[in-house]
Amino acid sequence: MGNIDAGLSGWRMASNHNRMMELQRTSMNGGPGSVNLDYYGSSAFQITSPAGITLMIDPWRNHPTRKWDWYFNDFPITKVDIGVSSHAHFDHDALHLLDAHVLLDRLIGTYNFGDIKITGIADKHATDSSAAVYDFKRIIKEFDNIDITPPNNPRSWDHCLLLIETGGLRILAWGDNRHNPPEEVWDAIGKVDIVLLPIDDSQHVISFPHAKEIIDRLNAAIIIPHHYYIFDITVRQSTLQPAEKWLETQKNIVRLMVGSTTYHPKDLIDVKNRIDFFGDHVAFDKKKWLNESN
């Protein structure tokens, strides 16, 4: 018999899509409204539309070899309506840990449901590690003999930018995308209200100057850092660091005191390049999650 633990786990779930059938009947029209954003650590965010449709972006796990753990435990099993992964790296692709009705792996194109629209824009993962604490591009070449340089990189170094439109807001999950996509990608992105941007002091994904280039180009109302070290979620072996040194160079910072916040279009009309920072706060019970790892 083959390995029954391989592949997705939807067939193990006791849930069903009766909820989605009800939403089909009642929530197909959109409009401006309050959008809730929950941070789940690493690059994972849950977005809840005004109609109550939930979307989880980039749930994480430890490396399947278990030789290079990044987290004290894998992502907590979470019930959502839709799950989406930006690329095939272990810290972004744990769709099997979602109890979800719909799973979108490396979406290219557009998915619509109710008052939420998700557009996946194909591009490439960041590979310029010249400013990072360690040169991962060189390490991968030296030890695995794999050249991750675009355009002939292997699949796991492809990437999909994720543009979420709901409640009158346009939210861009940058994920681990390179800082300098071609002009047609910028055109496809268009105007953005909120950008989720990977920033940590190790400059693991993008350097500080690259982050500034992206921020200046998008000119979004809100910038939300992610992909940084959280002492009771991320292990030191990950090599990630906090984002405090970068924050010291910035202005207009709001330090959020919980792992959840709400946005409405009318509240962002006069806001430009405000940084909303979750810090160590996440939207799940960390103590319970840590106990489950013992």
> What pLDDT shows up at residue 2?
52
Structure tokens at 216: 């200046």
Between CA 272 and CA 114 the distance in angstroms is: 29
C-alpha distances in Å from residue 115, one per residue of 87, 119, 286: 25, 14, 31
In contact, 173 and 47? CB cutoff 8 Å: no
Burial of 272 (C-beta count, 10 Å sphere; 0-12/13-18/19+): exposed
Tens of pLDDT along 140-199? 888 888 898 999 999 999 999 999 999 999 999 999 999 999 999 999 999 999 999 999
Summarised one tens digit per residue, pLDDT across range 94-133 is 999 999 999 999 999 999 999 999 999 999 999 988 888 7
235: confidence class by pLDDT, cuts 50, 70, 90: very high
- Residue 1: per-residue pLDDT: 42
CB contact burial 124-143 (16+ within 10 A = b; e otherwise): bbbbbbeebeeebbeebeee
pLDDT at 133: 79
State the pLDDT confidence band at 258, using cuts at 50, 70 and 90. very high
When the pLDDT of each residue in the chain is averaged and rounded to a whole number, the result is 93
Beta pairing, strands 35-39 & 45-48: antiparallel
Of 2-11, 49-58, 197-206, 224-233, the least confident? 2-11
* Structural domains in the chain, sorted by start: 35-292 (3.60.15.10)
pLDDT at 8 over 80: no
